[in-house]
Amino acid sequence: MKRIGFVLKVKREKIDEYKEHHRHVWPEMLDALREAGWRNYSLFLNEDGLLFGYFETPHDLETAIARMADKEVNTRWQQMMAPYFESPNNARPDQMLIELEEVFHLD
C-alpha cells in the first residue's frame, strides 16, 4: 500500500459548509472510494482553510484519481465541492491535489 498525503485550500467563508458536507458524505461516494482502492482516508482542516488529506492505495496518486474519475458519483461530488476551494483556474478539487513527499513513517 502506498501512503498518499496531499493539501488543498478551502475558502475561509466556506469552511463550515464544507465540514457539514463531510459529515454526510453520500453512501455511493463512499462505495466508489472503496471500489477505487482508497483506504484509511482522512481529511484534516486548519482554521485558515488549509486542508490536509491522507489515504492509502495500491496505486500512485495519478492512478487513484483516474480510478475515481471513472465514477459518475465522483463527477457530481467534485462539481458540488468545486466552489469550496481556492482555485486559480476553476479546476475540480481532484485536479488540484498537491501531493506531499513522505519523509518519515512510524508503523
Mean pLDDT in consecutive groups of 10 residues from the start of the chain, 107 residues: 95 97 98 97 97 96 94 95 84 84 94
Total domains in the fold of the chain: 1
* CATH number, position 36: 3.30.70.100
pLDDT at 90: 67
The answer to whether residue 56 is domain-embedded is yes
State residue 94's pLDDT score.
83
Helix (H, G, I), strand (E, B) or coil at 13: helix
100 occurs within a structural domain: no
CA 89 to chain CA centroid, Å, is: 18
Instruction: Please give the pLDDT value at position 81.
Output: 93
> Which residue in the block uniquely carries the three cell numbers 485536479?
95
What's residue 87's pLDDT? 80
Active site residues: 22
* pLDDT score recorded for residue 98: 87
pLDDT score for 95: 83
